[in-house]
């Protein structure tokens, strides 16, 4: 029997800096980075958060030796769109890293893109992960590691839309080599999957997790004591000790005491699995059940903000209606669902889309790459970051948790976030959503004041 083993050689030269988990930096500076399309007229809190494009440029400013980027989509340098100038600018800066002596390493799902070819011509090393062969899924992972010291993680792809017309949320963490070392291990794992159609059964020590849900990294985030770790999906991509995304999400939900605010593009507790040419769809209860417990048994207030867009699965409405009905006749029970909607453009339905994938609670934040859909966690590669903020009361600084909560509340209160009602109109009005049975209306009635 052949033993399939990952090469124990790390990416050459990447550990030249000599930083190890024993002497890495835990005194980190974190910034919330958002992209909000202008037409939404949603204000960003300029003191505490950065426009996403500025976040990426600041990371490139800091880079001295290496920039590692994971993104499935590469569509920055579009000349067909007037609003693509931020994408073009970022693309030009990525091309000009080499002359500065900075190595650019890219992992994508598909290397035959003209953009990646152009970056290669400018000295980038590009590798691909064939998710079709590995799990029949897709690569949803999106993160940066710079000099094994600074990181970005969030909802954005290397797509010009992420820097102008699509709503994105992520974080940039500076001077945080402990966390960066661990995310770098995820990067090394992808790097080694290049051109493979199997997952080795034995893993090099250099890609196993440094931190996880039982052993989180203790660190300072903007001088506030916190704990953090990185999680990944799917299960096959979780080497020893690496926490799975769904376990990270469950842990954050289970440790919430007063509120859980969730903002995701899609929410669907279903998983579709294929067995020899047939596919079976099953109920996927993992996240649904911890939400139900939190709401009914612990009295935690849950707000769920989902995007309403062309690809919203019709059963979404049934599942969220089922969640909402839990609180019937119960005191101290609150679960509200709203849909974030935007004017769809005929030619490009991603314009104006709320692409966020995060959760914030009274004591923790989870920022991920996958939507909360069973099939996505089951097959698609993604990465998540959990941050628990400790004793935020002692400290008068505004924490990243409070900033992300404020971003959620801003979206929830905005007129883009709409309630859902079963439509009385059997044919459906203009703008109604077609569900599996009948139609649903989005209404703007805002019961905000009583709800918080
Ligand atoms: C960190 O520790 C390693 C050995 O554990 C050592 O080789 C390296 O020089 C140290 N780096 C710094 C910056 O102290
Ligand atoms: C790669 O893309 C080019 C042009 O876009 C195309 O001509 C070529 O056939 C593609 N190669 C593969 C292997 O798909
Ligand atoms: C990925 O794997 C699938 C299935 O093994 C194969 O058909 C496809 O050609 C591969 N794609 C690339 C780009 O290698
Ligand atoms: C990172 O640390 C260096 C050296 O301690 C400091 O000069 C720099 O301002 C820090 N960067 C950020 C973004 O905090
Ligand atoms: C419900 O809330 C009220 C007022 O906040 C509180 O007095 C009561 O103990 C709560 N009941 C339960 C079952 O938690």
Residues 439 and 432 sit within 8 Å (Cβ to Cβ)? yes
The finding on whether 299 has its CB within 6 A of some atom of ligand 5 is yes
Tell me if 424 CB under 6 Å of ligand 5.
no
Average pLDDT estimate for 414-429: 73
pLDDT single digits (tens) 300-311: 999 999 999 989
Q: Is 15 in the pocket of ligand 1 (CB under 6 A)?
A: no
List the chain domain ranges: 18-451
Q: pLDDT grade, residue 423 (50/70/90)?
A: low
> Is the pLDDT score of 96 beyond 60?
yes
Question: Is residue 20 lining ligand 1, measured as CB closer than 6 Å?
Answer: yes
User: Which one of 148, 175, 176, 177 would you pick to mutate in the ligand 4 pocket, going by the greatest count of ligand atoms within 8 A of its CB?
Assistant: 175
| CA-closest candidate to residue 33, choices 145, 153, 144 | 153
pLDDT of 258-298, one tens digit each?
999 999 999 999 999 887 888 899 999 999 999 999 999 99
Q: Nearest-CA neighbor of 318 among 330, 310, 329, 306?
A: 306
Task: Tell me how far CA of residue 99 lies from CA of 53, 74, 93, 438, in angstroms.
Answer: 22, 22, 11, 59
User: Atom 14 (ligand 4): residue with closest C-alpha?
Assistant: 29
Q: 15-29, 331-345, 423-437 — which is least confidently predicted?
A: 423-437
Measured from the Cβ of residue 33, the count of other Cβ atoms closer than 10 Å reads: 25
Task: Give the residue, out of 19, 22, 149, with the most ligand 1 atoms within 8 A of its beta carbon, to mutate for a pocket test.
Answer: 19
Asked if the 18-451 domain carries CATH number 3.40.1280.10, the reply is: no
What DSSP element (H or E) covers 440?
Answer: strand 439-443
Cβ of 198 below 6 Å from ligand 3: no
CA-CA distances (angstroms) from residue 359 to 23, 287, 305?
31, 12, 10
Residues 6+ apart with CB under 8 A from 262: 302, 303, 304, 305, 358, 359, 372
For 180-191, b where at least 16 C-beta lie within 10 A, e where not — what string? bbbbbbbbbbbb
For the chain, what is the largest distance between any 2 Cα atoms, rounded to a whole number of angstroms? 67
Using the mean position of ligand 3's atoms as its centre, give its distance from the Cα of residue 158 in Å: 22
Q: How far apart are CA 375 and CA 379, in angstroms?
A: 6
CA 166 remoteness from chain centre: 14
CA atoms within 13 A on the CB side of 410: 14
């Amino acid at each position: 029997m052949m033993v399939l083993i990952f090469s124990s050689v790390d990416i050459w030269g990447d550990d030249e800096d000599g930083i190890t988990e024993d002497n890495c930096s835990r005194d980190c500076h974190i910034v919330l980075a958002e992209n909000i399309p202008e037409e939404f007229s949603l204000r960003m809190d300029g003191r505490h958060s950065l426009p996403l494009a500025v976040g990426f440029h600041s990371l490139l400013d800091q880079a001295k030796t290496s920039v590692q980027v994971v993104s499935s989509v590469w569509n920055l340098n579009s000349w067909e769109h007037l609003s693509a100038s931020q994408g073009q600018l970022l693309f030009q800066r990525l091309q000009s890293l080499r002359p500065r002596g900075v190595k650019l390493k890219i992992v994508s799902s598909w290397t035959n893109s003209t953009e990646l070819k152009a970056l290669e011509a400018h000295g980038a090393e590009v590798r691909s992960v064939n998710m079709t062969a590995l799990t029949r899924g897709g690569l949803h992972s999106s993160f940066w590691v710079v000099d094994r010291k600074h990181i970005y993680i969030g909802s954005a792809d290397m797509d010009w839309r992420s820097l102008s017309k699509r709503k994105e949320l992520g974080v940039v963490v500076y001077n945080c080599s402990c966390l960066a070392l661990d995310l770098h291990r995820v990067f090394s794992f992808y790097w080694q999957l290049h051109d493979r159609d199997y997952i080795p059964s034995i893993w090099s020590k250099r890609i196993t997790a440094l931190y996880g849900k039982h052993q989180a990294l203790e660190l300072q985030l903007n001088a506030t004591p916190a704990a953090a770790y990185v999680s990944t999906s799917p299960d096959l991509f979780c080497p020893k000790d690496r926490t799975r995304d769904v376990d990270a999400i469950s842990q954050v939900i289970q440790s919430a005491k007063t509120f859980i605010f969730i903002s995701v593009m899609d929410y669907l507790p279903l998983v579709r699995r294929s067995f020899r040419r047939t596919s079976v769809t099953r109920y996927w209860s993992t996240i649904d059940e911890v939400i139900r417990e939190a709401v009914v048994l612990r009295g935690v207030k849950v707000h769920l903000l989902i995007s309403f867009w062309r690809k919203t699965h019709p059963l979404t409405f049934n599942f969220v209606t089922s969640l909402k009905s839990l609180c019937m006749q119960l005191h101290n029970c609150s679960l509200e669902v709203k849909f974030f909607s935007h004017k769809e453009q005929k030619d490009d339905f991603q314009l104006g889309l709320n692409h966020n994938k995060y959760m914030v609670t009274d004591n923790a934040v989870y920022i991920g790459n996958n939507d909360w859909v069973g099939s996505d966690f089951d097959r698609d590669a993604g990465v998540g970051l959990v941050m628990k903020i400790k004793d935020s009361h002692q400290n008068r600084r505004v924490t990243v948790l409070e900033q992300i909560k404020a971003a959620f509340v801003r979206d929830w209160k905005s007129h883009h976030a709409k309630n859902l009602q079963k439509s009385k109109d059997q044919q459906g009005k203009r703008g109604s959503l077609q569900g599996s049975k009948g139609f649903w209306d989005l209404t703007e009635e805002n019961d905000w004041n009583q709800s918080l």
